[in-house]
Chains A and B, each alone.
Chain A
Amino acid sequence: MNLYSTEQGVVIRILEISTSRSLRRNLAQMGIQIGDTVLVHRRVPFKGPILIEHRGTVVAMGRSLAESIRVEIVE
């Protein structure tokens, strides 16, 4: 499943990030990489972005990017 299809409040683990090199790097710079466990913090309507939290950092992420991240649910 991809990150965008998850429910608010679940904890997921990132399995794969299939996006451009620069976006993947941007994510890495904010401390988010493959293998990290992340909380799906908030979602908005109109195909808007989602908020995720990882080790104290809250990051807003657009839909297309969230869809390119393959995840599994941890809890």
Chain B
Amino acid sequence: MTMALVGQPNCGKSTLFNSVAGYRSITANFPGVTVHYTRSRILLDGSIAELIDLPGIYSLTASSPAESATRDFLLNEEVDVVINVIDASVLSRSLELTLQLLELGVPLVVCLNMTDEAHRKGIRINPLRLSKELGVPITETIAAEGVGIHALFQSTIELNRDSRPLRAGLSYHRDTESVIDDLASLLENTLTDQNQLPARLVAIKVLEGDECCLSRSPVHLRQQIEDARLRLAENRGKPADEVIESERHALSMQLFESVAEISKPPHDIRERIDAWLTHKVWGYVIMLTLLAGFFSLVYGVGTFLEPQILSLFEGGIASIGKTLDPNGLGFVAVKGILQGLAGGIAIVLPYLLPFLLGMAILEDVGYLPRVAFLMDAFMHRMGLHGIAIVPAILGYGCNVPAVMATRILTSPRDRFIASVIATLIPCSARMTVIFGLVAFYIGPLWALMIYALNILVIAFSGKILSSIMPESSPGMILEVPPYHLPKLEIIFRKTWLRLREFIVVAWPLLIAGSLLLSMGTYYRWDAAINRLLTPLISLLGLPEVVGTTLIFGVLRKELSMIMLFQALGTSHVISVMSMSQIVVFTLFVTFYIPCVATMAALFREVGWKLALSVAAYSLAAATVIGLIGRWVLLAMGVS
């Protein structure tokens, strides 16, 4: 049995998914976090079933790639039961998707989630009544607390066993229904053998002007379809697609009113907090304070732990050096592996762990959409709008999900600009380089300045791109969800999920890279690579040996720092590199070519030509910034 979770963005699908499948799908209090689907096998009543977590969609009319993905999945894959997850606190709006799922004719179970949130908003829903109106089973749940999950899957199993055809008694106004009926009966005879879509659904979709359904409809009916659209428009004095939309809207509101009781919400402390956090002056002050606090937390934890763990490793390496021949191949290999390990444990983890924890809390509380709201005016200066800040913020964690998150933007031009911007954001890997080198050796203020410079470069790049592609940005529409108290367990599991990604993917690479480079130095291969990169390296005024580290950095950005220790033969960088060299190196690593994983994501989202241009642009930008950095530091007298 295959079940798919379908619902509007931020309704708790992934939370529900994780509560039965273990934490596998990243969740956050932010619309549109899931952009690709996650599958899991779960044990249901003694038999194995498959559960699929699909990206959130507002409607079945695909307007962004994330919506197309979900819709195509529902139309093309074999799904036995669709579980429609609804955020009960926004029931009225959510029913519009439910109505479309009913039109799709798939076996449907409704999961009325976040009923606690609905109560806080003063909304009480009668589930029996709603179930009767919709003609589908309904279960109330609070997925974050595991309430009602068992009952939900029980009703799913029952529905699958009965597999009785669903027939909802819901219909639009009579004049609209008659147009839909006429068109559906015309389509009925021609459609059935090519695709299994119900004729009524296809009729509604073509009336709405859905490109996909229109192109699949038989050519000889095109004129009749056009006539039907005109009839609908004449009846109501507005375009056919608006008629269908407003019919669905009216029906949902009417349904909502018949099943829900609204009382004045009890006093909610969150309203007071929100008034401060989105205040026209204090909102910005608090935002900057929070970011500064976050920055100091990462810096404080990292610089406290780094030297202590590092000295353990150095002691270890030194004692091995006493037993093995310090110039022999054996010691070189062991040292290479140990330094790779040390890089991961002593230099990356102390910064990565507090960063991921802080990020997880910010995401789950629901503060990030407020940042998007506060920052919209600034994003406009870059020719984008506030929603584009979603991929940007995600980019501070990792550029790969950030590039993928650009799918929530509807215009291809915005998606391109936003994905370029996402690749320029210093991800957590680059964050460890900035903290591990600049903040640690030179000072936190310098690290902060690199972040500030990065924002300037991003603003500048955004400005250039939007003047090359001068399409007026359509403006922001973003749903702002209510705050949630973060759940410790979810925060830890999410942090672990992301940390595991680092341990499984990056760590072996760090160790292998470190080993490879120590071998390279032993056999003197590195010299050839370094010679090749000499023009660039000497332009930036860096020591010649850093050449190879930049090649490694393309694989993973932290690798360039770990390799730096290897190439210099010490993890005490300040003893061999000057302050200005450390800053220039970090600047270059922060800006140059996105890592391979990001390039691959970019390639998928915007194609290879644009992906390569982004790589070339970032390489050029890194060189220019490194060079300017070198001169400025020279002029300032920093050596």
Asked whether B410 lies within 8 Å of A26 as measured between CB atoms, the reply is yes
The yes or no answer to B245 lying at the interface (CB within 8 A) is: yes
Least Cβ–Cβ distance between A23 and chain B, in angstroms: 5
Interface residues of B in 108-162 (CB under 8 A from A): 118, 121, 123
**Contact count A vs B, C-beta below 8 Å:** 123
Report Cα–Cα, A4/B477, bound state, in Å.
14
Residue of A nearest to B373 (CB): A60
Chain B residues in 8 Å Cβ range of A23: 474-475, 477
Chain A residues in 8 Å Cβ range of B63: 22, 25-26, 29
Asked whether A60 lies within 8 Å of B386 as measured between CB atoms, the reply is yes
Chain B residues in 8 Å Cβ range of A28: 245-246, 249
Chain A residues in 8 Å Cβ range of B253: 55
Mark the stretch among B89-97, B171-179, B213-221, B507-515 that contacts chain A: B89-97
Given contacts A26-B63, A55-B93, A57-B479, contact A49 B373 (CB under 8 A): yes
Asked whether B92 lies within 8 Å of A60 as measured between CB atoms, the reply is no
Least Cβ–Cβ distance between B63 and chain A, in angstroms: 6
Least Cβ–Cβ distance between A13 and chain B, in angstroms: 14
Least Cβ–Cβ distance between B84 and chain A, in angstroms: 15
Asked whether A26 lies within 8 Å of B477 as measured between CB atoms, the reply is yes
The yes or no answer to A64 lying at the interface (CB within 8 A) is: yes
The yes or no answer to B573 lying at the interface (CB within 8 A) is: no
Chain A residues in 8 Å Cβ range of B249: 28, 31, 33
Chain B residues in 8 Å Cβ range of A44: 278, 280, 283, 373-374, 376-377
Chain A residues in 8 Å Cβ range of B96: 29, 31
Least Cβ–Cβ distance between B31 and chain A, in angstroms: 10
Asked whether A31 lies within 8 Å of B278 as measured between CB atoms, the reply is no
Least Cβ–Cβ distance between A60 and chain B, in angstroms: 4
Asked whether A49 lies within 8 Å of B376 as measured between CB atoms, the reply is yes
Interface residues of A in 15-34 (CB under 8 A from B): 19-31, 33-34
How would residues 234 to 278 of chain B score, 1 for a CB under 8 Å from any chain A CB and 0 otherwise?
000000011001100100110010000000000000000001001
Set A22, A27, A31, A51: member contacting B92, Cβ < 8 A: A31
Given contacts A33-B245, A46-B377, contact A64 B121 (CB under 8 A): no
The yes or no answer to A73 lying at the interface (CB within 8 A) is: no
Residue of A nearest to B369 (CB): A60
Interface residues of B in 365-389 (CB under 8 A from A): 369, 372-374, 376-378, 380, 385-386
The yes or no answer to B476 lying at the interface (CB within 8 A) is: yes
28 sampled A-B residue pairs with Cβ under 8 A:
A20-B474, A21-B241, A22-B410, A26-B410, A29-B58, A30-B477, A30-B479, A31-B90, A31-B92, A33-B245, A44-B376, A45-B280, A46-B377, A55-B90, A56-B93, A58-B479, A58-B480, A58-B482, A59-B480, A60-B369, A60-B373, A60-B476, A60-B479, A62-B380, A62-B475, A63-B380, A65-B475, A65-B477
Q: Spell out B's residues near A (CB within 8 Å).
A: 58-59, 61, 63, 89-93, 96, 118, 121, 123, 241-242, 245-246, 249, 252-253, 256, 275, 278, 280-281, 283, 369, 372-374, 376-378, 380, 385-386, 410, 472, 474-482
| 12 further interface pairs, Cβ-Cβ under 8 Å (given A22-B410, A33-B249, A59-B477) | A19-B474, A22-B63, A25-B241, A30-B58, A43-B280, A45-B281, A45-B377, A49-B373, A49-B376, A49-B386, A51-B278, A56-B93
